[in-house]
């Protein structure tokens, strides 16, 4: 009996080792692919291109849709920044999703909102819309006030009210850079097959924000936020650039994504029963287009920047990661018959299995690895030196991937101008291996457990507001 | 006993060593890269500060002597600064025309930049080709027409794009057939550039556009749109004829163009007739054109479409808003109507009250 157990332990230990190499090597491969993509991209999209978009009569109008739920601290600043966008034809639709605080009141005072009759093409069913407000000072600003139905439901109400062929879905607390829309629209002009474009999400904590614009980019002083800067660089500059290049982009972040309105309507809008509605929409679009055998593109662009405030406390960050994990499981559950299905090409055969193996099951395998290592030490299957070696290797490999992300940032956009910030980012890539990474794994395991228990809901997110920075 | 550590340790140590080396290399690379990039930024700033007064003198010179003196001063610059000076000279041309373009053309010729950009059109790095094409277009370089036309066939999309833009800047009507041949390019962006370039050439291109449409019936819709964008009123009769085409896309594009060109009596009745078309897009563009015509007698016809499909109803409502008192009368008559017609009428009446200019064209 003991022999069988030891053999199983031995086999599992080897599998974990194999998994560790596979996951980290896949990240490294993504980084290398992203390196070449970013170099090409920088030469390709020049300032001249942006001017052409701004001046061209062929540039399509964009409806920017921002759902707001209890956003009284950031609503005015966020909407102001949106109204400053450098784009020839756009409207900003803020959807107040039954906020219990003064979100509507603050917006009404700041933008001189008046209740206005407004005809809406209600293609997608949503919770009841109470009123539509328009601004007397900003003709392009519309506020939809509706009963609470969740983020996806609010976005659907905004999509119904949108006038333009392209819709930009963002979070109300996000700050878009002035040229973000212009840059995000380029792939739509480039190819009529483009259905959606995602931009990069960067961490605004620690940056200097003036009049709704980020004027100085700095690494945050809060350690929880600092770790997330490196995480975001890794996820966007390495992961999404590479996935997009392979035609396997499964997420356009809910914080900033531009879509063709008609295609979103045809797909039935955002799924309000999931908390991973951004990923769900992308996967559904892949599914629909591949079922129809129509050419399409979902693209990630690394230069349209959306600045977002990330959690600064472990409790809120834990809630967020728990929610992301539950959302991931929900989406994979909805579309389980796409996984490993050759009918869905690279999405079914590579992207979705990658998400199952490395994103959904990753935390479970990682924690099992720790447990098995302890077990193997106990049974004398490995010695301490070997365990130390393994740990050192995981730290070095993890650091290598973080450093690669910093290199990608440096060769592409150089947002962090100070050498001290750059060194700090590299340092964070090392330090995160001693506690933060394990904590993240733990939150994701809790998320997996909560998903299996059927727990729903978003959890709380406290904002400090941009003006305070 | 068999130990995992015995099996893997040696490999892990080698792998760890390799990872450390990679880490060191990346670390050094990122620091060196940061240092070099910072130094380059500072150098560019110094070069800009050094030559900006002379570049400004070239751009603003009103007398030949001043221009010659400014060019002389720039000629004293070391060759390694010429690329930067060239970029500084052409940057303002993106938003200006007239005498600064002539001055920069003269300066570029004397500094050897024109010759350099002509040579760059033949190099094999696509971004240098594209930059050179754009620069030659912006300075309206003499003798650049033929090399730029040749670049329309370039395998790289960005080079073709730059060539299209440059040809638009050159303003030579001789390039119209070549530009129109570039229309079927797969990229919509490229088509938009062609449209923009043809727009820059102005209303005189009407004849070439119509001839192209006759030779390439598949391009009728885009040509109709182009005619609308360029304001080529001399092509109005052809566009009117296309508004009865069998393809609804062509009919819609033609009515869109007619809306931009303006409706004469005949076109007005065509637009009224198109309100009864089977295609939503055609009815919507007919409503748009009628709104832009500002003809009061169109109001009752438009009002009948307030309860039509969403796209048509929205355009009809906007058109009524733009028609002044006659449109307002029709909107008021329907503000209590059930469904979409009533909601749209109330919205447009509200917009007329809060925006006395009628909200502008759609």
Q: Give the H or E element holding residue B36.
A: helix B4-60
Q: Check B4 against A117: CB less than 8 A apart.
A: no
Distance CA A115, CA A120 (A): 14
Cβ neighbours of A186 in B, within 8 Å:
189
| Three-class SS of A144-181 | EEECCCCHHHHHHHHHHHCCCCEEEEECCCCEECCCHH
- Pairing mode, strands A194-203 and A175-176: unpaired
Q: To which H or E segment does residue A39 belong? A: helix A2-44
Give pLDDT tens digits for A427-445. Answer: 999 999 888 999 999 999 9
Q: Do residues B253 and B224 make contact, with C-beta atoms less than 8 angstroms apart?
A: yes
Residue A56: list chain B partners with CB under 8 A.
192-193, 195-196
DSSP assigned state of A96: E
Contact status of A364 with chain B (Cβ, < 8 Å): no
Partner-chain contact B26 A400, CB within 8 Å: yes
A and B: number of Cβ contacts within 8 A: 138
- Two structure tokens written together for B221: 């819709």
Question: What pLDDT shows up at residue A135?
Answer: 87
Q: Which of A376, A411, A417 sits opposite B4 (nearest CB)?
A: A376
- Nearest chain A CA: its distance from B269 CA (Å): 27
In the sheet with A90-97, reading across from the earlier edge strand, the strands are: A113-115, A129-135, A141-146, A90-97, A62-68, A166-170, A256-260, A194-203, A297-308, A175-176
Q: What is the DSSP string of A215-256?
A: EE----SSHHHHHHHHHHHIIIIIIIHHHHHTT------TTE
**Are A407 and B158 within 8 A, CB to CB?**
no
Chain B residues closer than 8 Å to A190 by CB: 187-189
pTM above 0.90, yes or no: no
Does the CB of B34 have a partner CB in chain A at under 8 Å? yes
What are the tens digits of pLDDT across the range B155-208? 887 888 888 888 888 877 778 777 877 776 656 666 777 777 787 777 777 888
Of A17, A43, A189, the CB nearest to B189: A189
- Which has the closest alpha carbon to B255: B288, B220, B299? B288
B146 in contact with A, Cβ within 8 Å:
no
Residue A59, C-beta contacts closer than 8 angstroms, at least 6 positions apart = A53, A87, A88, A89, A185, A189, B192
What Cα–Cα distance (Å) separates residue B199 from each residue in A76, B160, B227, B306?
40, 18, 9, 34
Interface test with A, best of B192, B259, B351, B357 (most A CBs within 10 A): B192
Strand, coil or helix: what is B25?
helix
Alpha carbon distance A385, A391 (integer Å): 10
Residues of chain B with pLDDT > 90: what percent?
A: 40
Cα–Cα distance measured from residue A85 to residue A175, given in angstroms and rounded to the nearest whole number: 10
pLDDT of residue A52: 66
User: Which of B4, B27, B199 is nearest residue A13 as measured by Cβ atoms?
Assistant: B4
Interface test with A, best of B3, B18, B30, B318 (most A CBs within 10 A): B30
Contacts with A57 from chain B: Cβ below 8 Å = 195-196, 199, 229
Mean pLDDT over all residues of chain B?
Answer: 86
- Looking at the DSSP bridge assignments, the partners of residue A64 are A92, A168
With pLDDT > 70 as the criterion, what percentage of chain B qualifies? 92
Closest CB from A48, A192, A400 relative to B134: A48
Listed by number, the residues of chain B in 123-142 with a beta carbon closer than 8 Å to a beta carbon of chain A are 126-127, 134
Predicted pLDDT of residue B71? 92
What string of pLDDT tens digits covers the 469 residues of chain A? 677 877 787 788 778 888 888 888 899 999 999 999 988 887 766 666 666 667 666 678 999 999 999 888 888 888 888 888 888 889 999 999 999 999 999 999 999 888 877 777 778 999 999 999 988 888 889 999 999 999 999 999 999 999 899 999 998 778 888 889 988 988 887 787 899 999 999 999 999 988 778 889 999 999 999 999 999 999 999 999 999 999 999 999 999 999 999 999 999 999 988 888 999 999 999 999 999 999 999 999 998 999 998 999 999 999 999 999 999 999 999 999 999 999 999 999 999 999 999 999 999 998 888 888 888 888 777 778 777 888 888 888 889 999 999 999 988 888 898 889 999 999 999 999 888 999 999 999 999 999 999 876 655 555 555 544 4
ipTM value for the complex: 0.79
B chain contacts of residue A120, beta-carbon cutoff 8 Å: 343
- Are residues B192 and A58, on separate chains, in Cβ contact within 8 Å? yes
pLDDT greater than 80 at residue B354? no
Residues from chain A that touch B26, judged by Cβ atoms under 8 A, are 400, 403-404, 407
Chain A CB contacts of B346 below 8 Å: 117
CB contact under 8 A, A407 and B94: no
When mean pLDDT is compared across A218-232, B88-102, B276-290, B332-346, the lowest value belongs to: B88-102
**Nearest neighbour of B127 by CB, restricted to A13, A43, A382:** A43
Q: Is the dihedral of CA A339, A341, A344, A347 positive or negative?
A: positive
B231 contact residues in A (CB cutoff 8 A): none
Distance from CA of B189 to the nearest CA of A (A): 4
Residue B60, token pair as written in the block: 């603003």
Any chain A CB within 8 A of the CB of B362?
no
In this predicted structure, the answer to whether residue B213 has a pLDDT above a threshold of 80 is yes
Contact A167, A185 (CB under 8 A): no
- Taking only residues 327 to 346 of chain B, the set having a beta carbon closer than 8 angstroms to any beta carbon of chain A reads 340, 343-344, 346
Closest residue in B to A25 (Cα) is B19
d(CA B223, CA A139): 33
Question: Residue A119 and residue B354: Cβ atoms within 8 Å?
Answer: no
Residue A52 forms contact with B (CB below 8 Å): yes
Nearest residue on chain B to A13, judged by CA atoms? B4
Report the DSSP beta bridge partners of residue A214. A209
Q: Would an 8 Å CB–CB cutoff place B200 in contact with chain A?
A: no
A406 interfacial to chain B (CB closer than 8 Å): yes
Q: Does A381 touch chain B (CB under 8 A)?
A: yes
Q: Say if residues B325 and B314 touch (Cβ distance below 8 Å).
A: no
Give the residue on B whose Cα is nearest the Cα of A51: B94
C-alpha angle with apex A210: A204 to A213, nearest 5 degrees?
Answer: 60
Return the ∠ at Cα A38 (arms to A33 and A42), rounded to 5°.
160
pLDDT at A204: 92
């Amino acid at each position: 009996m003991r022999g069988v157990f030891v053999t199983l332990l031995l086999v599992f230990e080897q599998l974990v080792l194999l998994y560790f190499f596979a996951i980290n090597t896949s990240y490294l491969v993504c980084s290398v692919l992203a390196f070449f993509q970013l170099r090409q991209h920088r030469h390709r999209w020049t300032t001249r291109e942006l001017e052409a978009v701004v001046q061209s009569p062929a540039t399509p109008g964009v409806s920017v849709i921002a759902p707001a739920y209890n956003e009284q601290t950031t609503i005015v600043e966020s909407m102001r920044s949106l109204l400053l966008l450098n784009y020839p034809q756009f409207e900003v639709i803020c959807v107040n999703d039954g906020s219990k605080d003064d979100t509507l009141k603050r917006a009404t005072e700041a933008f001189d909102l008046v209740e206005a009759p407004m005809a809406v093409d209600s293609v997608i069913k949503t919770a009841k819309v109470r009123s539509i407000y328009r601004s007397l000072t900003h003709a392009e600003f519309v506020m939809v006030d509706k009963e609470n139905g969740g983020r996806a439901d609010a976005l659907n109400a905004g999509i119904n009210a949108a006038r333009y062929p392209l819709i930009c879905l963002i979070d109300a607390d996000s700050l878009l850079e002035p040229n973000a829309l212009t840059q995000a629209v380029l792939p739509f002009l480039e190819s009529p097959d483009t259905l959606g474009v995602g931009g990069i999400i960067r961490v605004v904590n620690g940056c200097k924000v003036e009049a709704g614009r980020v004027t100085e980019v700095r690494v945050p002083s809060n350690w929880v936020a600092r770790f997330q800067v490196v995480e975001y660089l890794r996820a966007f500059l390495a992961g999404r650039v590479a996935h997009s290049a392979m035609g396997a982009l499964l997420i356009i972040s809910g914080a900033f994504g531009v879509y063709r309105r008609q295609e979103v309507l045809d797909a039935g809008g955002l799924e309000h029963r999931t908390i991973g509605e951004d990923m769900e929409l992308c996967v559904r679009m892949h599914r629909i287009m591949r079922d129809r055998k129509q050419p399409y593109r979902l693209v990630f662009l690394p230069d349209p920047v959306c600045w977002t405030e990330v959690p600064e406390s472990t409790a809120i960050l834990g809630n967020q990661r728990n929610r992301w994990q539950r959302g991931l499981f929900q989406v994979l559950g909805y579309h389980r018959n796409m996984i490993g299905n050759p009918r869905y090409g690279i999405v079914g055969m590579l992207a979705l299995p990658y998400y199952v193996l490395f994103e959904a099951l990753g935390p479970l395998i990682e924690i099992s690895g720790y447990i098995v290592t302890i077990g193997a030490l106990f049974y004398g299957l490995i010695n301490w030196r070997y365990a130390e070696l393994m740990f050192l290797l995981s730290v070095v490999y993890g650091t290598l991937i973080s450093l690669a992300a910093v290199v990608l940032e440096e060769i592409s956009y150089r947002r962090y101008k100070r050498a001290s910030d750059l060194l700090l980012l590299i340092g964070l890539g090392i330090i995160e291996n001693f506690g933060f990474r394990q904590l993240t794994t733990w939150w994701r395991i809790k998320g997996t457990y909560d998903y299996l228990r059927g727990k729903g809901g978003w959890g709380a997110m406290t904002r400090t507001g941009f003006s305070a920075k | 006993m068999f130990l995992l550590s015995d099996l893997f340790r040696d490999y892990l140590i080698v792998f760890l060593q390799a990872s450390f080396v990679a880490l060191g290399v990346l670390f050094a690379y990122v620091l060196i890269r940061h240092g070099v990039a910072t130094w380059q930024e500072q150098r560019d700033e110094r070069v800009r500060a050094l030559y900006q007064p002379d570049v400004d003198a070239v751009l603003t010179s009103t007398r030949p002597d001043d221009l010659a003196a400014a060019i002389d001063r720039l000629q004293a610059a070391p060759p390694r600064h010429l690329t930067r000076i060239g970029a500084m000279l052409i940057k303002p041309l993106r938003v200006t025309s007239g005498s600064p373009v002539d001055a920069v053309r003269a300066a570029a010729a004397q500094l050897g930049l024109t010759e350099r950009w002509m040579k760059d059109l033949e190099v094999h790095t696509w971004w240098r080709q594209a930059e050179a094409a754009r620069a030659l277009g912006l300075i309206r370089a003499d003798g650049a027409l033929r090399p730029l036309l040749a670049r329309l066939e370039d395998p790289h999309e960005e080079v073709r794009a730059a060539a299209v833009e440059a040809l638009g800047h050159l303003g030579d009507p001789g390039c119209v057939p070549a530009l129109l041949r570039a229309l079927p390019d797969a990229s919509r962006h490229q088509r938009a550039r062609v449209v923009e370039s043809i727009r820059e050439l102005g209303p005189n291109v009407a004849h070439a556009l119509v001839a192209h449409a006759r030779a390439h019936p598949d391009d009728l819709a885009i040509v109709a749109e182009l005619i609308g964008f360029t304001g080529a009123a001399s092509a109005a009769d052809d566009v009117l004829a296309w508004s009865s085409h069998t393809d609804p896309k062509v009919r819609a594009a033609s009515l869109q163009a007619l809306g931009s060109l303006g409706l004469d009596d005949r076109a007005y009745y065509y637009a009224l007739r198109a309100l009864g078309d089977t295609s939503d897009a055609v009815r919507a563009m007919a409503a748009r054109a009628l709104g832009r015509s500002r003809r009061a007698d169109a109001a009752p016809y438009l009002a009948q479409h307030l309860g039509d499909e969403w796209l048509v109803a929205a355009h009809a409502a906007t058109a009524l808003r733009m028609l002044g008192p006659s449109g307002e009368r029709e909107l008021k008559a329907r503000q209590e109507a059930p469904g979409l017609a009533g909601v749209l009428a109330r919205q447009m009446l509200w917009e007329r009250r809060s925006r006395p200019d009628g909200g502008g064209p759609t």
